[in-house]
Structure 1
């Protein structure tokens, strides 16, 4: 595969991830999102790396294009180095994350091409002192089993940190002047319905009827806690935020589809049409406000 510098650590060549989502098609959009999240994630990475032993091994599972891979590499480099293991099931995303993390220097970066739904991370690259996973566990059929597998890959005293939950990303004003006010909330409800359907259609899907703190305890972790962080780019925003908003709205329009009223679908067509006077990418009232929650626990 072009662009892959070190295939040594690859377990197999995964053609498709188990959830049926074409993540390769989202690489460009993911890079833009990563740039907007970078400042906040650097703070999170430093916080998570601070208590680790010297020369630690850190996993970034479901790393995507590397929004957290680079902050983790920077945090490790600042404290003398370590090993960063990047795991993803999409070759294009893994290559992007690997190149970006290696550019930091002073850290050994090992890419692993693997689908976490079918492979045990305990066999990837040795025991981890920290495993980070952002919005990845909820894409796995049996989430508690996945957590237990991640715990199994930790060294004694190691930490598992998963970014799950938080608050729905906001980027639209309440009244857009196109369609009925409150489009953002209706999109959020339709996206939640799509998410439930996506979960139900995963082969072997198992419900997780508890909060993440309880799930981490059930997976065998102690010292369970959580914290949240905010990504805030207020209006009037830079063009990169407007471009992100257009991509986000395009994705929401794609996954919500028939779940929306015809009038909302008509409003979306106007907002996503570069030739329309109401095109989202040209508006001054677009913003980006996201809140993610990190749940973490320690292996005894």
Structure 2
């Protein structure tokens, strides 16, 4: 079922369990990024961090830990999907219990022109893989910049390297399935944006978008997500989630042969079930773009 409170027509509540699994698996990487970003905010004040499109709450949890370690602050989760926002906020509040970190939640559409009216001025705005789901991406970044307090930072996690999970030859179907899944997802994504009401193209890199929003000192860094084989159970289940998501998004672009292979990989009763293979893995890279709001 599609949910009208998102622009991309994706049923995000149905993905909550997979989002949570990915957050738990990638928690050490998220904490490293959170520590790096919180270090930008100075040592004296208790900063305000706003997590736009907070999803399953994993990055907010990482920020809560980073804030607690430096003496406190405030984390505000914001999402358009209440079915995600409520459990994510509960998770982060549990993590922050007994610390000097305040946790709040604001349900809001990140594409709204009034976004800054609903959120506190932020020392750091974090937005991970949400802007590309919005119709006018430049306007959305402009809106995120307005949420920043003077001297605040926008950290935009977009792009990087596509995730790889599967051996080249699985022993069933044609070799190279992982590459075809990624290509099918990319075709679906282009179609999703083309069908989105009010969508506008963005023919420049993300650093140029931050500069156009009036931010200064624009830079970027990338970090690697690496869960190598032999795979733990958590990694294997995450790979099952990845196959299900990628194949569901790009189903129309996949051959009948590939669809049959995917059905076997997703069937716990099949000997080819991906969740029972310790030769799967998760390897990818994410890029974070940083911009500073002038004082």
Q: Using structure 1 for the length normalisation, give the TM-score.
A: 0.93
Structure 1, gaps ≥5 residues long:
1-13
- Tell me the alpha carbon deviations over residues 16-69 of structure 1, each in whole angstroms, 9 at most, x when there is no partner: 222211111111111000001100010100110112141111100000111100
Superposition pairs of residues 147-186 of structure 1, within 5 angstroms: 147-186=141-180
Q: Which runs of 4+ in 1 moved over 4 A?
A: none
Q: Deviations over 1:176-226 (max 9, x none)?
A: 011111111111111000000111111100011000011111111110000
Kindly indicate whether the alpha-carbon contact (under 8 Å) linking 2:109 and 2:115 is maintained by their aligned counterparts in 1: no
Indicate the residue corresponding to 1:125 in structure 2: 119
Looking at structure 2, the residues matched to 120 and 101 of structure 1 have their Cα atoms a distance apart, in angstroms, of: 26
Return the offset for 1:92.
Answer: 2.2
The TM-score with structure 2 as length reference comes to 0.94
Q: Is 2:74 the partner of 1:83? A: yes
Q: For 1:80 and 1:271, locate their aligned partners in 2 and report how far apart those are by CA, in whole Å.
A: 47
Matched, 1:207 2:201: yes
Residue 28 in structure 1 maps to residue 17 in structure 2: yes
For residue 112 of structure 1, give the secondary structure of its aligned residue in structure 2: strand
Q: Does 1:93 align with 2:84?
A: yes
Q: Distance in 2 between matches of 1:115 and 1:25?
A: 19
Contact kept, 8 Å, 1:29 with 1:247, in 2: the verdict is yes
1:236 aligns with 2:230: yes
Structure-2 separation of matches of 1:146 and 1:34: 25
Superposition RMSD on alpha carbons, in Å?
1.3
Deviation sequence 1:58-97 (CA, Å, 0-9, x none): 1000001111000111111111111111101111211122
1:7 aligns with: none
Pairing 1:280-299 to 2, within 5 Å after superposition: 280-299=274-293
Partner residue in 1 for 2:252: 258
Matched, 1:143 2:134: no
- Which runs of no fewer than 5 residues in structure 2 stay unpaired? none
Kept in 2, the 8 Å contact 1:126–1:153? The answer is yes
